[in-house]
Structure 1
Amino acid sequence: MKTYIYMVRHGESPKTEGNERTRGLTDKGRSDANKVTELLIDEGIDTYVSSPYRRAILTIEELAQSFDKEILVFEELREMIFLSDDKVMADKELYPTVKKMFSDSNFLLPGGESSTICQNRSVAALKEILKKYKGQKVVIGTHGMVMTLMMGYFDSKYDFDFLIQTSKPDIYRMEFDDEDLIETKRLWKD
């Protein structure tokens, strides 16, 4: 029995408001969330799951509301914690840090997580979703780093180079047979 996971990376989010947990979407991010809905409206999605971070929920919210579905929030699907207290990290600091995390999976900043820790918690959540919603189509509102780490667990080609070429938003449909990844297809059109 096939299970389909739709990884929906959140839309553009301002790094000037709130913290990592509360940041919303920019005007472009909101417009792109409408495009996410248009792209996935006919996919026959059964279940909607998200990271607890506001930008991830907002990116799939319109789609879920179109079918009067609740978004189930999984704390374990939150983005990697780079700094303590969910502080926002500027991109000029973030990308060199992320590159180092891919070359040394145990590297972490004070108060943050390593890629090993983040991957272990997020993959455990994904395996729970695959088991609980077996045979369904499940949208997951997610983030670049945690999405890449989950996908990379099943196929090593999803690495730093993959992450830096993804967009905000982005959509990948993963086809599973139990916990075996059969195929991944990018659905987002820039």
Structure 2
Amino acid sequence: MKKIYVIRHCEAEGQSPEAQLTDRGNEQALDLSEFFSNIKIDRIISSPYKRALDSIKPLAKKSNVEVEIDRKLTERILSTKNFSDWFEKLRNTFDDIALKFEGGESSREAMERIVEVVEEAFSRNNNNTVIVTHGNLMSLLLMYFNKDFGYDNWKNLSNPDVFLLINENNKVTLQRIWK
């Protein structure tokens, strides 16, 4: 049985790749480290965005595990255009995973890249892997394993949030484990 803990980063000051964690986000990163204190972590893979890396730093240090950076875990770009109805556009991409806006990627394309990271992690000999990413990308991964996971579930994610994927006999189950 292999486990992957998928983490959405802690509270951040913005959406840019360089956005820092808020003071509350830094406290949350320490809470995350404590949350995992009774779990032996074998591997940590993170988005290269500062907010993701800073969210996992305390756990990596405590676990003495080096963080691997994977660009496939960066947040999905919905579009390079600014939309006044951004939330509606995003909702539409949950309903039609092939829908693609100018300069962005479809839900299917984003889903494929995070699924690739998860499948590679499950293929390794590690029992407990942590993957740190972003809300939209995490939601698309969860949708891949549970077709009922959608826009409203994305809206209800917290910062941070943690889902556990368990691969037992090539059957993957998921559950939300963050308090």
Length-normalised TM-score, structure 2: 0.91
Q: How many residues align?
A: 179
Amino acid at match of 1:118: A
Structure 2 segments unaligned to the other structure (5+ residues): none
Cα contact 1:3–1:178 (8 A) shared by 2: no
Distance in 2, matches of 1:94 and 1:63, equals: 34
Distance in 1, matches of 2:164 and 2:70, equals: 19
CA shift, 1:179, in A, is 4.1
CA shift, 1:82, in A, is 2.2
Amino acid at match of 2:17: R
Amino acid at match of 1:150: L
Report the secondary structure of 2:3's partner residue: strand
In structure 2, the partner of 1:9 is 8
| 2:162 equivalent to 1:166 | no
**Could you tell me which of 41, 48, 51 is aligned with 1:45?**
41
Amino acid at match of 2:175: K
Cα contact 1:130–1:179 (8 A) shared by 2: no
Distance 1:136 1:94, change over 3 A: farther
> What is the RMSD of the two structures over their aligned residues, measured on CA atoms?
1.9
Cα contact 1:45–1:137 (8 A) shared by 2: yes
Report the secondary structure of 2:116's partner residue: helix
Report the secondary structure of 1:48's partner residue: strand
Output one character per residue of 1:125-174: Cα deviation in whole Å (capped at 9) or x when no partner.
21111112x45101111111111111211111222121111101111111
Cα contact 2:43–2:126 (8 A) shared by 1: no
In structure 2, the partner of 1:108 is 100
| 2:175 equivalent to 1:185 | yes
Cα contact 2:9–2:133 (8 A) shared by 1: yes
Amino acid at match of 2:27: S
Distance in 1, matches of 2:85 and 2:40, equals: 40
Structure 1 segments unaligned to the other structure (5+ residues): none
CA shift, 1:52, in A, is 1.4
Cα contact 2:46–2:73 (8 A) shared by 1: yes
CA shift, 1:100, in A, is 1.3
Cα contact 2:4–2:165 (8 A) shared by 1: yes
Amino acid at match of 2:62: S
Length-normalised TM-score, structure 1: 0.86
